[in-house]
């Protein structure tokens, strides 16, 4: 009898569990067809750091949960050699933004919540730990980052051209190899076309999964590309990815039109000015912005990044506006480095042209780089590159059918640039040495 009672009770529990499971599935029909790493939950996912404010005293973090998390928090403390930092962790309430994925018909019909916190009043050159969550049982791991110094100091960062296609399958090994090469990089520039179809959430899920914890540690400077623009329906006007502003917390340049907010901005990191431009939308409006950001700039190094190549190396590509309207300003203010994507090939060149054959060149103005990190590859147009001589451009190195990442190290009066293949092998390198008093520069190409 006792055996039958136990058997009956076990059967009852089994049936009840099945019923609950069936009810749970029925309530989540809108998750059907999604990979588990696309599905939002109470646990934070898609965590990313951005610059927002002075990099020496502030940092922004953004993450995603399901819609049941209506109050979210970030905790922050100065890192210690053991776990006792938790006793002094400060808790900050996040700004929460409901976001309807289903407004784009290619996505599952569900609402998620994006949360963001801007850490302020931080100590310069200090290692911090942070975590994000619901304030109760659903927290991320503790994650470390270091604030910038207030003075000019050695800096290293990573730059990627387009990831864009098959991001989880083929871009993941690029970002991971870059992390192995430069694990202590202060930040990373993603030079546009992070994904292929602007509003498709599956592709953003791939991008976050491909980078994993690296997105949480390296502070990202995302640049908008043409593939971050798409119509919501066939034939509809192109618009910025619906995920862009919710998932990143970027500086807002109030003097610019709202359409350009969080796609055009400037970061000043340890006497390096990085100006991010939107080469897809409202180009004319950015001419004045570039001029304003450069004319009174006292930074020791000036770097511009935009998606479209000022000197396009691929067949059939031409960013005439960039050469006609932006380049003269870059020349005028002696910009050091321009980092582009878009053309799915590799090219590094400089202006102005010199007749000397020496490796060391005097009176350099600007080095221009186009690169690609994803699997989609185009052919170089060598004749087109020769035609840029009328613009004062000379090609120094090129490549095709190769996935790259670049590591840039700035120390003392030298900017050292190295392009690596996805195998971690050096492909191209150069150095710019600069006299900060006169602004005169020398370019040293690798042998």
Quote the pLDDT of residue 284.
95
- pLDDT, average across residues 177-206: 97
Retrieve residue 188's tokens: 């990373």
Label residue 334 exposed, middle or buried (CB < 10 Å: 0-12, 13-18, 19+).
Answer: middle
Higher pLDDT, 25 or 316: 316
Quote the pLDDT of residue 362.
59
428, 286: one domain: yes
- Residue 38 is assigned to a structural domain of this protein: no
294, 364: one domain: yes
The Cα–Cα gap between 133 and 141 comes to 9
Label residue 320 exposed, middle or buried (CB < 10 Å: 0-12, 13-18, 19+).
Answer: exposed
Q: How distant, in Å, are the alpha carbons of 327, 349, 445 from that of 371?
A: 19, 12, 17
* Percentage above 70 pLDDT, the chain: 91
- pLDDT, average across residues 158-166: 97
- pLDDT, average across residues 217-232: 97
379, 414: one domain: yes
Peptide bond into 119 cis (omega under 30): no
- Residue 36 is assigned to a structural domain of this protein: no
- Across-strand partners of 277? none
- The CATH number assigned to the domain holding 123 equals 2.60.40.380
Give the end of a domain, one of 146, 179, 194. Answer: 146
Model confidence band, residue 27 (pLDDT cutoffs 50, 70, 90): very low
Model confidence band, residue 363 (pLDDT cutoffs 50, 70, 90): confident
Give the end of a domain, one of 146, 173, 189. Answer: 146
74-90 pLDDT, tens digit per residue, is 999 999 999 999 999 99
- Residue 299 is assigned to a structural domain of this protein: yes
At residue 355, does pLDDT exceed 60? Answer: no
171, 140: one domain: no
Domain total of the chain:
2
The Cα–Cα gap between 275 and 232 comes to 29
Higher pLDDT, 359 or 379: 379
- The CATH number assigned to the domain holding 318 equals 3.60.21.10
**Intra-chain end-to-end CA distance of the chain, in Å:** 89
Residue 266, domain extent: 155-445
Quote the pLDDT of residue 8.
45
379, 287: one domain: yes
100, 208: one domain: no
- Residue 279 is assigned to a structural domain of this protein: yes
- Residue 34 is assigned to a structural domain of this protein: no
Model confidence band, residue 123 (pLDDT cutoffs 50, 70, 90): very high
362-387 exposure pattern, b = at least 16 Cβ within 10 A, e = fewer: eebbbbbbbbbbbbebbebbeebbee
- pLDDT, average across residues 383-400: 93
């Amino acid at each position: 009898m006792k055996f039958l009672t136990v058997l009956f009770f076990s059967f009852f529990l089994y049936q009840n569990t099945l019923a609950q499971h069936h009810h749970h599935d029925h309530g989540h029909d809108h998750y059907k067809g999604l990979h588990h790493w696309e599905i939002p939950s109470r646990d934070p996912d898609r965590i990313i750091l951005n610059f927002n404010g002075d990099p020496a005293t502030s940092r922004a973090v953004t993450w995603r949960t399901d819609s049941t998390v209506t109050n979210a928090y970030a905790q922050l403390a100065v890192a210690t050699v053991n776990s006792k930092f938790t006793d002094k962790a400060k808790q900050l309430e996040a700004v929460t933004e409901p976001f309807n994925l289903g407004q784009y018909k290619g996505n599952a019909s569900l609402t998620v919540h994006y949360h963001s916190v801007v850490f302020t009043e931080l100590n310069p050159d200090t290692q911090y730990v942070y975590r994000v969550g619901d304030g109760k049982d659903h927290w991320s791991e503790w994650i470390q980052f270091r604030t910038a110094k207030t003075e000019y100091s050695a800096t290293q960062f990573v730059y990627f051209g387009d990831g864009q296609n098959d991001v989880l399958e083929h871009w993941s090994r690029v970002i991971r190899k870059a992390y192995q090469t430069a694990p202590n990089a202060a930040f990373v520039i993603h030079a546009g076309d992070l994904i292929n179809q602007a509003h498709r959430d599956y592709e953003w899920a791939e991008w976050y999964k491909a980078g994993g914890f690296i997105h949480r540690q390296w502070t990202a400077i995302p640049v908008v590309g043409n593939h971050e623009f798409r119509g919501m329906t066939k034939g509809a006007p192109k618009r910025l990815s619906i995920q862009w502003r919710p998932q990143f917390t970027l500086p807002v340049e109030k003097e610019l039109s709202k359409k350009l907010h969080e796609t055009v901005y400037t970061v000043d990191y340890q006497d390096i000015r990085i100006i991010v431009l939107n080469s897809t939308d409202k180009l004319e409006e950015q001419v004045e912005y570039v001029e304003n950001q450069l004319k009174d700039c006292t930074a020791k190094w000036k770097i511009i990044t935009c998606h479209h190549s000022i000197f396009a190396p691929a067949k059939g590509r031409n960013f005439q506006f960039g050469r006609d309207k932006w380049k003269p300003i870059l020349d005028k203010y002696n910009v050091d480095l321009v980092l582009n994507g878009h053309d799915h090939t590799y090219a590094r060149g400089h202006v102005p042209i010199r007749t000397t054959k020496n490796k060391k060149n005097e009176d350099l103005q600007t080095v221009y780089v186009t690169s690609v990190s994803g699997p989609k590859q185009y052919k170089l147009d060598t004749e087109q590159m020769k035609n840029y001589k009328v613009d004062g451009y000379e090609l120094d190195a090129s490549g095709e059918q190769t996935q790259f990442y670049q590591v840039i190290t700035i120390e003392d009066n030298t900017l050292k640039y190295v392009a690596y293949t996805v195998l971690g092998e050096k492909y191209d390198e150069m150095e710019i040495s600069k006299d900060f008093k006169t602004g005169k520069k020398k370019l040293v190409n690798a042998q």
